[in-house]
Structure 1
Amino acid sequence: MGRELSSLRQPGRQIAIFTTASLPWLTGTSVNATLRAAYLAKICANSKVTLVLPWLGQDQKEVFPSNLRFDSPEQQEAYVRNWVEKRVSFRSDYKIRFYAARFASFLGSVFPVGDITKSIPDEEADVAVLEEPEHLTWFHHGQRWTDAFKHVVGVIHTNYVDYIRRGGGRAASMSVGYLNRRVCCIHCHKVIKLSDAVQSLPRQVTCFVHGVPPPFLEVGRQSAKPAPPGQPRFSKGAYFVGKIMWPKGFTEMLDMLSQHKRSTGKALPIDAFGSGADFEEIRSRAEEQELQMTFPGRQDHLDDSIRPYRVLVNPSMSDVVATTSCEALAMGKWLVCAEHPSNQFFKAFQNALIYKDAEEFSEHLSHAMANDPHPLSEDDLGRLSWEQATERFLDAAEITPSEWPSGIGALNDTVQWHMYNASIGLEVLRQAVGAGINTGKQPASVTDYDPQEYERLKNGEYHQKLGYPEPRLL
């Protein structure tokens, strides 16, 4: 596009949205990327929008609910479209494509297989929106994104530096922070941070560009109405919904609940909906501390079983901005969350109770359990809507003539890319850093890659596929 103004509002743009997760996995990167595609297609009616999702094949069982499996990308596409239609009040004209992917259990994440820039034909390669650009490019070997597309904007969803710090220590987190800056600089013309909870990145702008689907807003409007005589507006207390993992703030929450119990002699009851790698460990810790917590399993935030709750407790400080917190506010509930840059957006809402320490946590949660939330105004509902979020995204994604990389800067990025691309293409290195076996090779189709190949190799079976005899004990 050169050094001219590049705006996604310009008619005729072809916008491809690449994401690291797909429905029915109810995670922020799957939900928000899918809704962004739907609303961009609606608001930018003179442009073409394509949503590009990971196809997991046999790895579906690792992340999808137990009753949901897809035999083909077409089946999963039908599920995604049906999910969207239930959550928006319009039919949106966007395409869905898939790329081959695998689930890395030791990282709890989905990673691409092959060069996924090839998912979009050359004649359609105009704008690329990379949902989690660092995640999509850590192991990327192939065409540089800014060479494949005219306008590349990354949206940072996850505070990976904090995740790594908690699990791997300071040195590992510093390394990941450096790596994130490198890959974002190499592959993005612009980076949108949802909040300043994440590290500083090249060509960044901070703007909350996510919203809440209409059904959540409608629940909020209904909850603001007076309850029938003799009935409460909310019949249940506190809950958490999301991934049951230590980085989601469970260490802090269990400690604060324990402190409240010691100081008052009473346990605050919380129902934690969700699943995750640390589910059993967290549940056991809660039982050991004799906390009044239940773990009912996964549940959609819109499910009827969650609507009666009056307060969402979200202790996480690893999120960039928590989708579930937005949804809870939109539903007219209290939100109890920590003083942290990731929660800056929520300070404008009366129902957000933000604590600085365990004492304030206890005070806010006790207050929320005893009092009804304030009814939401239409201005509040508007700020939470996807319509306004999409307008903010279009503004933030714009590249002015002065924002394009300079000649020296562009040359430096090119040199960095050649070095990185050459090294990450080495199979030995790829396996050493967790990219998986043969994931740098381009599959003939999205369904050709077998994500279980790595497990078979570990079990001594892979060599048989190559024609070697069956191993025998001597």
Structure 2
Amino acid sequence: MINLGMETTRPSAAASSGTAEKAFSFLSKGWREVRDSAGADLKLMRARANSFKDLADRELENFLNSASAFSAPPLPPAEGAIAEIEFVKRIQPKLSEIRRAYSSPDFSRKVLERWSPKATIRIDLSAIKNAIVSEADVAGGFLDFRIEGVQGRRKVRWKGWESEGEEEEKEEWEPIRMLKTGLKEIERKSQSTDIFGNFAGSELVEKLKLSLRSISKEPQECKEILPLDLPELLAYFVKQSGPLFDQLGIRRDICDKIVEVLCSKQKDYLVSHSLSASEESLLRNENINDELDLRIASVLQSTGHHYDGGLWNDAAKHESTDKKRHVAIVTTASLPWMTGTAVNPLFRAAYLARTAKQNVTLMVPWLCKSDQELVYPNSMTFNSPEEQEAYIRNWLEERVGFKADFKISFYPGKFAKERRSIIPAGDTSQFISRKEADIAILEEPEHLNWYHHGKRWTDTFNHVVGVVHTNYLEYIKREKNGAIQAFFVKHINNLIARAYCHKVLRLSAATQDLPKSVICNVHGVNPKFLKVGEKIAAERERGEQAFSKGAYFLGKMVWAKGYRELIDLLAKHKNDLEDFKLDIYGNGEDSHEVQSAARKLDLNLNFLKGRDHADDSLHGYKVFINPSVSDVLCTATAEALAMGKFVICTDHPSNDFFRSFPNCLTYKTTEDFVARVKEAMASEPQPLTPEERYHLSWEAATQRFMEYSELDKVLSSDSNVSREGANPKNIMKKSVSMPNLSGMVDGGLAFAHYCLTGNEILRLATGAIPGSRDYDKQHCIDLHLLPPQVQNPVYGW
């Protein structure tokens, strides 16, 4: 339609007439050119039809001649040849008749007339001319170009405003009409027979009907979904601004209350104007937030809008080419450094790969020899990654008792002496091949991404899970100007968790409350410790003395690992624990200071060299003491419980997981500590039950990890299958229909972090290792890598 009724001023008669004449001349000239072109095409089609006819005549003549040649063969022909000749003789009269028919001029003329357009097509251009210059028509009317008639004759018709409301019935698309007719026929048969008894009214038929209605939706149906009003837009903006309000300190329940106030008065209106009757019945028990989401989605779908990505994120994700999914576990340490981030991810990789449901790759840092001498115990070094990989696999198989089938890969890392930690060098994500970039498990995601300058993990991987191991804020507060540093690190950690992870698992409530996080202990105990516990329980059943020693403490000898709290407790109650003796096993940077402080206070402490907790010399101790408040989840505590020992620890969130074990004795005050020590030294620990042993095992830890990280849903092939009674959100996929403001905020934070970590001055000011934005020459030699300038060239003029 061309609407000419919106003009508010009328041009002069002369101007209107001149314009009309020019328009009429232009249209006439154009139509003559189209007609001439159509005539030339028609002549060409006729010429080609004549050539095809001549070719068919020749081929038929050859066919008949060859059939006649076979009519009198010199030798008796086979039965097949005789049948073929008889067939040709029978059809020869009919072929001659057909040949005469299509050779006639009338036949060619009729065929060409049916397949070609009309030689002359008339269009009434005078109507256009009259409409332009007509004063009455300009005042209130519009042109209506329509195709009418069976042969597609085109007409230009002028309609007044009085006929604007008349809507002609839209013809339905032929395939859809035929499919609907078929479904109606099946339903009719199902009512009269028992064969289709279970088919009519089934979920499949109803969904197919709904799909057909959506495909062939009439314009009137689209008009039923009214546009969004201002309260709805404000409510959705407040709802999607949750991440921003979290950073500003505004509680989430306040945001929910604002949304409810904005939309509560229109709740019935939303349901009645946005959803069908079936969807409305499903939403009767839903809250206003779900109804608002579906309202927004329905409006966007009615406009045909489809959201494929955001401002910052990459919509293209990896899709696995084989049947198995790929899990990449990235950690910040490696054996032989006996730290939690080296041991626990190694066990996680082994037990995830043991199920054989997914391929697993463990990524660990590779240190140059100069850094290896500073980190690994007893000056142990490796000449190649293959040599270190062999050491790791031998250590693991000796403890788990089975051959773990997973891949070990290395990425460049550098050791920070001041922080006693390994910092990734370069973009860690680039060392995971594209076909394996499916699911990522970031052990210590904040540590891995403090100085990460590369691709965003959530853009590279389909699902990213972060596991928080360390309470960094507690360590930082002990340093100079620790309160200020902790303030900035807290917000940086929030940014990293929000920008680079889909889900974050905190081992205990001792860590900071990160976005997208849940609390769950997903670590287990080395099977070797559980076997020691079973052995000690068997000895006690036979009446043998299982524990021949008293109490001990084991841990890296740095003040933050609980040595300060331990010395203060023993010094304050020195007289109450006069006969109490404690053996301490550990090595570390603060060894000299810790031992000097104990000697000055004349404490009854026996300092011994650090060793593996599974060492036979430690099996005879009955009591393990751990006063640390900086741990997130002490691995040594879990190992001591697995061996059937008493554990005395502080009443702290890091020990919440151990409270359910009867051998775990917690204290709140220093007086409670003395009472717990005397109680443990005077009694015997209870043997672990099978349920308690399983609760400590890596099998149970892996099951908890799969559940709380939502990895079981991601890996399950049935995760996208609709189930009876599913949430109404499954009716309409909002994530595909509309942008998510929270995702846009996360992408913006990731982009800002990328820009900040790309500046070397800012990196050095925040404590990064110089030159750690890219790996160095020695890493290229050890890991057989191309130089960074070749991997990521900088183009210039």
TM beyond 0.5: yes
Deviations 1:230-282 (A, max 9, x none): 95311111111121111112111111111221345x15322221222212111
State the AA in 2 paired with 1:421. Y
Matched position secondary structure for 2:479: helix
- Corresponding residue to 1:218 among 531, 537, 540: 531
Identify the residue that residue 589 of structure 2 maps to in structure 1. 277
Could you tell me how far apart the structure 2 residues matched to 1:406 and 1:66 are?
55
In the aligned structure 2, how far is the partner of 1:369 from the partner of 1:123? 56
Please tell me whether residue 370 in structure 1 is matched to residue 703 in structure 2. Answer: no
- Confirm or deny: 8 A CA contact 2:384 2:782 kept in the other structure: no
Q: Distance in 1 between matches of 2:777 and 2:413?
A: 13
**Matching residue within 241, 251, 267 for 2:554:** 241
In the alignment, which of 741, 749, 752 is matched to residue 416 of structure 1?
749
1:135-164 C-alpha deviation (Å, 9 max, x unpaired): 000011111111121111000000011111
CA deviations over 1:62-107 (Å, ceiling 9, x no partner): 2211152111111110010001101112211100001111111111
Counterpart contact for 2:385–2:782, Cα < 8 Å: no
**For the structure 1 residues 64 and 406, does the alpha-carbon distance in structure 2 shift closer, same or farther, using more than 3 Å as the test?**
farther
Identity of aligned residues (%): 46
Tell me which of 52, 63, 67 is aligned to 2:363: 52
1:170 aligned onto 2:483: yes
Q: Which residue is 1:458 aligned to?
A: none
Q: 1:62-461 alignment to 2 at 5 Å?
A: 62-168=374-480, 169-227=482-540, 232-264=545-577, 266=578, 268-398=580-710, 407-443=740-776, 446=779, 448=781
Structure-2 separation of matches of 1:304 and 1:175: 45
Q: Secondary structure at the match of 1:302?
A: coil
Larger Rg: 2
Q: Is the 8 A contact 1:11 1:46 kept in 2?
A: no
Distance (whole Å) between structure 2 residues aligned to residue 398 and residue 231 of structure 1: 46
* Distance in 1, Cα, partners of 2:669 & 2:570: 12
Distance 1:181 1:406 in 2: 22
How far did 1:11 drift?
A: 6.2
Residue 762 of structure 2 aligns to which amino acid in structure 1? Answer: L
2-structure distance, mates of 1:373, 1:63: 37
Structure 1 residues not aligned, in runs of 5+? 4-9, 451-474
- Closer, same or farther: CA 188–68 of 1 in aligned 2, 3 Å: same
What root-mean-square deviation, in Å, do the aligned CA atoms of Structure 1 and Structure 2 show? 2.5
Code of the residue aligned with 1:26 in structure 2: it is M
Superposition deviation, residue 203 in structure 1: 0.6
Contact 1:335 1:353 in 2 (8 A): yes
User: Which amino acid is the alignment partner of residue 129 of structure 1?
Assistant: I
Name whichever of 159-168 and 188-197 sits farther off: 159-168
Higher strand share: 1
1:434-471 CA distance string (max 9 Å, x none): 21121102457845489xxxxxxxxxxxxxxxxxxxxx
Structure number with higher helix proportion: 2
Q: Deviations over 1:391-437 (max 9, x none)?
A: 10011111779898971111111111111111111112222222112
Q: Distance in 1 between matches of 2:387 and 2:685?
A: 41
**Gap change, CA 1:146 and 1:258, over 3 Å in 2:** same
Go from structure 1 to structure 2 and tell me whether the alpha carbon gap of 1:154 and 1:181 turns closer, same or farther (over 3 Å shift): same
Native 8 Å contact 2:373 2:379 kept in 1: no
TM superposition shift of 1:293: 1.3
Is the contact made by 2:647 and 2:663 (CA closer than 8 Å) also made in structure 1?
Answer: yes
2:782 and 2:402 mapped to 1: Cα distance?
35
Give the TM-score taking structure 1 as reference length. Answer: 0.89
Aligned with 2:524: secondary structure?
coil
CA contact 1:142–1:421 (8 Å) conserved in 2? yes
Helix, strand or coil: the match of 2:665? Answer: strand
Question: Structure 2, unaligned stretches of length 5 or more?
Answer: 1-307, 310-314, 316-321, 714-719, 721-728, 784-797
Alignment partners' CA distance in 2, 1:305 and 1:385: 23
- TM-score under structure 2 normalisation? 0.53
- Change in 2 beyond 3 A, CA 1:378/1:123: same
One-letter code of the match for 2:418?
F
Q: Structure 2 CA distance, aligned partners of 1:91 and 1:116?
A: 27
Look up the equivalent residue of 2:362 and give its one-letter code: L
CA contact (8 A) 1:114 1:442 kept: yes
Instruction: Give the number of the structure with larger relative contact order, counting CA–CA contacts within 8 Å between residues 6 or more apart.
Output: 1
